[in-house]
Every structure is written in C-alpha cells, then in structure tokens.
Amino acid sequence: MLKICRVHTTLPTADLARARVFFENTLGIPPKTELPSGIFYDCGEGDEVRSVANRRQAVRRTHPDGLRCRRIDSEVQELRSRGVVFEHYDLPGLTTVEGIVHRPALKAAWFKDTDGNLLAIMQPVEPLD
C-alpha cells in the first residue's frame, strides 16, 4: 500500500523567509503550496520538500534527506555557482572528490541548508527512468 505513495520530507527552520530565499533562489526550486506554517516545494514526480517554521529554534537534521538527480556532476556545478558549499569527507570507504563520492551503486554529494540541515543529492549508477 505505501509503495504507491509519494514522499515528502519536512525541514525545520528558525527563519522561514531565509529558508525561502535558499530553496527558491539558491536551489532553484519553485514553491508549490504556501501556508502560514510552511512552504511546500515540488521536487518532481510528485515528491515534495516542506520548509516549516519552528517558533522555537530549529532542530537540525543530521541524517541527510536525499534528492535523486540524473546528472550529479552538472547539478553540483550549478549549485556551486549559486553559492552552495558541499561537504568534504575523507573517511575509510567514503571520500569525496570535487564534492562527490563515487560508490558502486551511486554517486552522492552533501550540503547544508541555512539552518544546518544536511541534504544530499544522489545519482544512482543505473539510469533513472
């Protein structure tokens, strides 16, 4: 039953206006639905990211929410040109090169939003349909 459901993730923010600038201008994701408590962003194929205002200080997500893409190299390049700073990892089995880790099943890159939430973009080695 759940396998047919679209996915949305919620990212808390202490400053909804600042988060809006990041999602719309820096990441280039247009808003889909605006509510007083938050904004839904359409990430394609029915999946959404919701930036939600937290009246208290935002709780940072340290486990990344991932966005799948078709060509990670060009996505990283485009996001860098918009000011996104990618995380660098040099760990056993996980080393980024030019911001991207190359694994047998996927390529991935990580960055933080304006509230310190960790986000990932991922490209499966098998092409997306």
Token pair 């090169």: residue: 97
Higher pLDDT pick, 111 / 59: 111
- The stretch 29-53 carries a mean pLDDT of 80
Burial annotation 83-92 (CB, 10 A radius, 16+ → b, else e): ebebeeeeee
pLDDT of res. 79? 94
Confidence label for 64 from pLDDT (cuts 50, 70 and 90):
low
Domains of the chain: 2-124 (3.10.180.10)
pLDDT of res. 61? 57
- Contact between residue 6 and residue 46 where contact means Cβ atoms under 8 Å apart: yes
Dist. CA 27–CA 41, nearest whole Å: 11
Distances in Å between the alpha carbon of 61 and those of 49, 50, 116? Answer: 13, 13, 7
Dist. CA 128–CA 125, nearest whole Å: 9
Q: What percent of the chain has pLDDT over 70?
A: 81
Whether the predicted pLDDT of 6 surpasses 80:
no
- The stretch 69-92 carries a mean pLDDT of 93
Higher pLDDT pick, 64 / 121: 121
Confidence label for 82 from pLDDT (cuts 50, 70 and 90):
very high
pLDDT of res. 115? 85
